[in-house]
Amino acid sequence: QVQLVESGGGLVQAGGSLRLSCAASGSTFSINNMGWYRQAPGKQRELVATISSGGSTNYANSVKGRFTISRDNAKNTLYLQMNNLKPEDTAVYYCKCEGLYYYTWGQGTQVTVSS
């Protein structure tokens, strides 16, 4: 079993930056891919960015050039650096990890961008 805990959310003005963290614990040796997803009020959860165990990354078009996903395997931590934030980035951000036969979600962290 793997447990995920996100942190780093908050209120920021448009154009500002935030860095989200996701700390993994438990059977972390089994984690392959990790990613960030977000869900705005009244909308479906959507992919923001993913990163493989080898470091390959993938981004939603809406965040390319503004967000950077990274992972520190020694610290079992996933990061999302978010720059030039826009009001439409407002959402609950969730961390997800995948193993060979499972996936796990964190509890989410709120990001609010004011205009």
Averaged over 41-54, what is the pLDDT?
96
3-class DSSP assignment, residue 44: coil
Q: So what's the pLDDT on residue 28?
A: 83
Q: Are 47 and 105 in contact (CB under 8 A)?
A: no
Per cent of the chain over pLDDT 70 is: 100
Using CA atoms, how far apart are residues 58 and 29, in angstroms rounded to an integer? 22
Q: What pLDDT, on a 0 to 100 scale, did the predictor assign at position 106?
A: 97
Asked whether the predicted pLDDT for residue 63 surpasses 90, the reply is: yes
